[in-house]
Amino acid sequence: MIDIKFLRENPDVVKENIKKKFQDDKLPLVDEVIELDTKRRAAQTEADEIKANKNKISKQIGALMAQGKKEEAEEVKKQVAEGAAKLAELEKTQAELEEKVLKIMMVIPNIIDPSVPVGKDDSQNVEVQKYGEPVVPDFEVPYHTDIMDRFDGIDLDAAGRVAGNGFYYLMGDIARLHSAVISYARDFMIDRGFTYCVPPFMIRSNVVTGVMSFAEMDAMMYKIEGEDLYLIGTSEHSMIGKFIDQIIPEEKLPLTLTSYSPCFRKEKGAHGIEERGVYRIHQFEKQEMIVVCKPEDSKAWFDKLWQNTVDLFRSLDIPVRTLECCSGDLADLKVKSVDVEAWSPRQKKYFEVGSCSNLGDAQARRLKIRVNGENGKYLAHTLNNTVVAPPRMLIAFLENNLNADGSVNIPEPLRMYMGGKDKLVPTK
């Protein structure tokens, strides 16, 4: 959410930003919110005048009573009563206008960084750099669930009977590999100076609306019936929510946290949820990273965060590339975003395994996350990035470490989490 003062003073900049995001239907909202804000400020000014006048009149009443001018004092009291009634009316109007302004401001997209390429959708995202050499082996790479099945490592049929499509049972070595990747990612981030955290897996509605847009919430979040709680779609939401309504001493910044959590997503409107596989599912686990920092440091932290993901995947012999997300592919709160994609030898193309986002002060403004600095209080900047999210990451891992005989190599960093094994041998 952008600053109302910025919008008031730079309406053309806000409109141009909306055009860059190909959301022209939102253009009228800029003028509408300016008009509502003007009325709100006028109501506030009038209310302030009545309050100031009330103090003066109260002193007059005392003076008149002291002089024995009771009738005149009663007339002045009537003025006070009339002013009180008018003040109550103005305060009600002001509250209604503030609610309308906030509702509109919540859907006007954040100002994107000047470096973001302009494009309508993810087909116009721009490749930045490749890391590692993509390899297509001289043997056929099976579909990922077929690889897992050779190890008796997955049961989608049982999951379908228990929970429906979009769920899975991981078994044996594949389940252990899943946990090993999460554990390795945890220690990888701790070694890079991040504080490990296991957050709440449910959050209240005020946190939900503080960290994401309404459209994202509707497409992603599961609501707990009868309670003001939502299952998290990603742990960055509860991690950023940790600082709601907080004033953070500047000397404590940056706050760098890495979190483990299960994630739950409706995947509303997603394609392929009925297909066999674990690429797009309703439940998965993830290691995440977030940063809360000073505004002038957020650009540098952004580059550090996506580089962490690149480094982790390369340490497991998985080629990756980074993509700069174009304006039309950015969620409304994001200033800038880079996706990390892993190489799929079977598909002979890259696919998304992580996303790094700089949200500027948008989340901090909604959640009132402030910093107490030398020159006063200001809003923090927030960033987040996926460290690793199996089982999708397992697809990349299994395909890139598969041998012709069906065995799967275990890179050295994972072996301590796999009981010392350097290879998985299929059972069938």
Residue-wise pLDDT for 127-186, tens only, equals 999 999 999 999 999 999 999 999 999 999 999 999 998 899 999 999 999 999 999 999
Same domain assignment for residues 340 and 218: yes
pLDDT category of residue 216 using cuts at 50, 70 and 90: confident
Which residue, 49, 71, 105, sits at the end of a domain?
105
What's the confidence (pLDDT) of residue 274? 43
What's the confidence (pLDDT) of residue 65? 65
> What is the crossing angle of helices 172-191 and 392-400, to 10°?
100
111 lies in some domain: no
Q: Which strand (E) or helix (H) includes residue 261? A: strand 255-264
What's the confidence (pLDDT) of residue 229? 95
What's the confidence (pLDDT) of residue 301? 98
pLDDT category of residue 217 using cuts at 50, 70 and 90: confident
Same domain assignment for residues 130 and 54: no
> What is the crossing angle of helices 172-191 and 298-315, to 10°?
140
- DSSP structure class, residue 254: P
Same domain assignment for residues 313 and 222: yes
Residue range 60-85, pLDDT digits in tens:
655 656 666 666 766 666 776 776 78
- 360: CATH: 3.30.930.10
Tokens 């395909």, residue? 399
pLDDT category of residue 48 using cuts at 50, 70 and 90: confident
The SS3 of residue 93 is helix
CA nearest 216: which of 7, 350, 362, 321?
362
Residue 229 falls in which region: left (phi positive, over 0), alpha (psi -120 to 50) or beta = beta
Q: List C-alpha distances in Å: 335 to 120, 235, 419.
A: 16, 20, 43
State the chain's mean pLDDT as an integer: 91
Quote the number of domains for the chain.
2
Reply yes or no on whether the pLDDT at 58 is more than 70: no
Cis before 134? omega within 30: no
Same domain assignment for residues 101 and 130: no
State residue 413 phi and psi, 5-degree precision.
-60, -25
Say how far apart CA 425 and CA 288 lie, in whole Å.
30
Please say whether the beta carbons of 240 and 257 come within 8 A.
no
- 11: CATH: 1.10.287.40
Say how far apart CA 23 and CA 215 lie, in whole Å.
13
Reply yes or no on whether the pLDDT at 118 is more than 60: yes
Q: What percent of the chain has pLDDT over 70?
A: 91
Reply yes or no on whether the pLDDT at 27 is more than 50: yes
What's the confidence (pLDDT) of residue 74? 63
Enumerate residues 6+ apart whose C-beta is below 8 A from 187: none
Same domain assignment for residues 286 and 316: yes
What's the confidence (pLDDT) of residue 268? 62
Higher pLDDT residue, 45 or 275?
45
215 lies in some domain: yes
CA nearest 210: which of 93, 368, 386?
368
Please say whether the beta carbons of 214 and 108 come within 8 A.
no
160 lies in some domain: yes
What's the confidence (pLDDT) of residue 273? 45
374 lies in some domain: yes
Higher pLDDT residue, 337 or 89?
337
The SS3 of residue 206 is helix
Buried b vs exposed e over 385-410: b needs ≥16 C-beta within 10 Å? bbbbbbbbbbbbbbbbbbeeebebbb
Which residue, 105, 132, 161, sits at the end of a domain?
105
Residue 294 falls in which region: left (phi positive, over 0), alpha (psi -120 to 50) or beta = beta
177 lies in some domain: yes
Residue 233 in tokens:
């779609």
Same domain assignment for residues 142 and 199: yes
112 lies in some domain: no
Say how far apart CA 318 and CA 396 lie, in whole Å.
7
Same domain assignment for residues 97 and 129: no
Q: Which strand (E) or helix (H) includes residue 340? A: strand 336-344
Least confident of 88-92, 253-257, 370-374: 88-92
Tokens 């804000």, residue? 37
The SS3 of residue 275 is coil
Residue 278 in tokens:
């674990």
Same domain assignment for residues 21 and 130: no
Residue range 294-314, pLDDT digits in tens:
999 999 999 999 999 999 999
Q: Which domain holds residue 35?
A: 4-105
Residue range 394-425, pLDDT digits in tens:
999 999 999 999 999 999 999 999 999 999 99
